[in-house]
Chains A and B, each alone.
Chain A
Amino acid sequence: MTTPLKFIEWPSPTVDGGTRNEAALAFDGGREMRLLVIPPLFEEANKLRHLLVEVLRRLDASGIDSFMPDLPGCNESRAHLAEQTLDGWRTATAEAAEHFRASAVLTVRGGALVRPAGLPGWDYAPHDGPKVLRSMVRARIISSKEAGHPETREEIETRGRTEGIALAGWQIGPEMFAALETAELPPPETGVSVLDQETIGGRPLWLRAEPDFDAAQADALAAVIAIAMRDSV
């Protein structure tokens, strides 16, 4: 039996201490096994969304509920990305874990940087803050050179830290920029394992210039999660 995919809202904490409704994609059958998915950051979220939705569909068929919230400022969110901070996102994912009564968490790529503590689960191909920034700063260097007004990495970094900067179309605020420059992956936690691309097989979809999909990877990722979640109940 399958559950319909729904877009639902959840109360995300805001920087000023209030809450704002953010969207989440959900398969909620009120079941015991409930997976929270923290998507990748920025452009990689778009590249992996198709794969992740298909993973959630497969988990639904295996009797697992799942919830993939938008990080504030991303996807359907009406919050300004430039005002978001990495710590703010950490507070938001912790709130989402509680709101959806998650029993496990899957983080994807840079999503590992904002993994809520205290839940078992998986970090799929995690990478740290400097790696996230390196490519985005490089993209800006290449495009400004193309546009005929070259900038150096130092210029971009200084501006990023002091006033914030647009990197490949993403408005990164100064706090977010500075936090990403040093953000390390969270320390290993009991019950959290790293899934690398070799385990899943196929080609890394975040590398594709055009968003792509691979059913075999969705099968593999869903199988790893479903088997472990069923065993733990």
Chain B
Amino acid sequence: MTAQVSPQSDETGPARSKIDSTLRAILRDVLGLSEERAAELTPDSGLFGHLPELDSQAVADLLTEMEDRFDIIIEDDEVDGDHLETYGGLLALAEAKTVTS
């Protein structure tokens, strides 16, 4: 008899791939990207400071939308420039928050 073991991701929060796809969907909505363009985002893709339309209000709305969709609270002092500068930074923030929340 084998014990039914849930995948580890169920115990530690959403799977990383799920976080990644949700975050891509948020950026798609914020930046008006096609599915293809959103799928092409890499950890090095530049965000705040690289895209002129991504001003402080747009970044603030983006963080608030992450809070809603991931059901997390992002404290202001948890966000530093590195988190906002690239897709990889933002993903790291989302992963850290969803695992600890």
Contact = CB atoms under 8 A, between A and B. Distances in A.
- Choose among B51, B54, B61 the residue with the greatest number of A CB atoms under 10 Å from its CB: B61
B3 to A, nearest CB: 39
A113 B50 CA distance: 36
A153 B79 CA distance: 13
Contacts of B64: 131, 134-135, 138
B65 to A, nearest CB: 6
Given A131-B64, A134-B64, A135-B61, A212 B56 contact: no
A227 B60 CA distance: 37
Contacts of B62: 207
Contacts of A210: 32, 53
A152 interface: yes
18 contacts: A135-B57, A139-B59, A139-B61, A141-B60, A141-B76, A146-B56, A152-B76, A153-B76, A168-B56, A168-B60, A203-B29, A207-B29, A207-B65, A208-B29, A208-B31, A208-B32, A209-B30, A212-B32
A143 B57 CA distance: 8
A139 B64 CA distance: 10
B32 A138 contact: no
B48 to A, nearest CB: 8
B63 interface: yes
Interface string B46-75: 000001011111111111110000000000
A98 B86 CA distance: 50
Contacts of A146: 56
Contacts of A131: 64
B97 interface: no
A204 B60 contact: no
Nearest to A134: B64
Interface of A: 43, 131, 134-136, 138-143, 145-146, 152-153, 168, 203-204, 206-210, 212
B93 to A, nearest CB: 14
7 closest Cβ pairs, A-B complex:
A209-B58, A139-B60, A138-B60, A143-B56, A209-B53, A142-B56, A139-B57
A208 B30 contact: yes
Interface in B69-98: 76-77, 79, 81, 84
Contact of B57 (A43, A152, A203): A43
A104 to B, nearest CB: 29
Nearest to A145: B81
Contacts of A153: 76
A146 B56 CA distance: 9
B56 A207 contact: no
A207 B32 CA distance: 9
Contacts of B79: 142
